[in-house]
């Protein structure tokens, strides 16, 4: 019985994910911004945001030069332009989950609203798509996407991104059917051992 308990505890310990909030705080000094180039992507808590163009930056909430303002958001944020495609990956190359995020318009945009296409590339090779249209302010987006290798953000105009709620998953995770198979095998082994000792 003790072996079964140890097996179950270790199984569920292996399958846990590590929650991370990518919030861009304390990156840019007060009233400044830090530009990120394709060759120097933004990294936080084991995740990487890579842009295809140099129009991407972490922006302090009090930075107002050029009219930069993530409308409706009151914390530091990641801004990117329509010239950019921004890709989120885990820096370890492992799969991850994206639960939710805040997305919206940068007041610098030349329009009153933006559209953002979010594309999730799954470990299996499949693709998930979320098209967020007519965003006029910071908007909470609930995705609940799992087993991702990357997420790509493409915007129609200047956008802001904040508070990405991500979970790093281990390549050592055991799938639900695999976990049940291991449990069944453990029970068979325990039963075999008890009959052998009798």
Note the pLDDT tens digit of each residue in 20-65. 999 999 999 999 999 999 999 999 999 999 999 989 999 999 998 8
Of 64, 114, 62, 107, which Cα lies nearest the Cα of 84? 114
Spatial separation of the C-alpha atoms in residues 66 and 69, rounded to whole Å: 9
Judged against a pLDDT cut of 90, whether residue 193 lies above it is answered with: no
Is 105:159 a contact under the CB 8 Å cutoff? yes
Strands (E), the chain: 18-22, 33-35, 42-44, 47-51, 56-59, 77-80, 85-90, 96-105, 114-122, 127-135, 139-155, 159-168
- pLDDT of amino acid 74: 93
- pLDDT of amino acid 7: 45
Of 170, 188, 187, 151, which Cα lies nearest the Cα of 22? 151
pLDDT digits (tens, 9 = 90+) for 105-133: 999 999 999 999 999 999 999 999 999 99
Please tell me the pTM assigned to this model: 0.78
Residues composing the chain: 198
**Residue 79 pLDDT level (bands cut at 50, 70, 90):** very high
- pLDDT of amino acid 178: 53
**Burial profile 119-155: b = 16 or more Cβ within 10 angstroms, e = fewer:** bbbeeeeeebeeebeebeebbebebebbbbbbbbbbb
Is 97:145 a contact under the CB 8 Å cutoff? yes
């Amino acid at each position: 019985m003790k072996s079964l308990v140890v097996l179950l505890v270790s199984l569920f310990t292996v399958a846990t994910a590590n929650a991370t909030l990518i919030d861009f705080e304390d990156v840019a000094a007060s009233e400044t911004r830090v530009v990120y180039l394709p060759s120097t992507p933004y990294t936080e808590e084991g995740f990487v945001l890579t842009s295809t163009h140099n129009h991407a930056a972490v922006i302090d909430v009090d930075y107002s030069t050029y009219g930069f303002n993530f409308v409706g958001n009151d914390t530091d944020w990641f801004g990117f332009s329509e010239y950019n495609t921004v890709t989120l990956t885990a820096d370890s190359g492992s799969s991850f989950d994206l639960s939710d995020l805040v997305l919206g318009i940068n007041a610098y945009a030349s329009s009153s609203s933006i559209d953002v296409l979010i594309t999730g590339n799954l470990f299996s090779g499949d693709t998930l798509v979320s098209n967020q249209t007519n965003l006029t302010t910071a908007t909470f987006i609930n995705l609940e996407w799992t087993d991702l290798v990357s997420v790509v953000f493409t915007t129609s105009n200047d956008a802001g991104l904040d508070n990405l709620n991500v979970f790093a998953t281990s390549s050592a995770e055991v799938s639900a059917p695999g976990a049940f198979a291991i449990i069944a095998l453990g029970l068979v082994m325990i039963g075999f051992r008890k009959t052998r000792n009798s």
